[in-house]
Amino acid sequence: MRISTDCVGCGQCVVCCPSEAISVCGRAVIGDDCTQCGVCIPYCPLGAIREDET
């Protein structure tokens, strides 16, 4: 997952993450324990979370 600069640090992604892999420090930060499940994507009100492009 990737967090764009559109993130305002609202924390909605932190609340919904089943892996507890997201923290907020000004804006969201995705940790190494992210499983890439994508649950957080629809919870972001600004669409700031996207899948990594491979």
Domain 2-50 in CATH 1.20.58.760? The answer is: no
**Arithmetic mean of pLDDT over the chain:** 94
Domain segments of the chain as ranges = 2-50
Instruction: Render each residue's pLDDT in the chain as its tens digit; 54 residues.
Output: 999 999 999 999 999 999 999 999 999 999 999 999 999 999 999 999 999 876
Q: Looking at residue 54, what is its pLDDT?
A: 60
Q: Specify whether the CB–CB gap between 16 and 39 falls below 8 A.
A: yes
Q: Looking at residue 52, what is its pLDDT?
A: 84
Q: Give SS3 for 22.
A: strand
In the block, tokens 């930060």 appear at 29
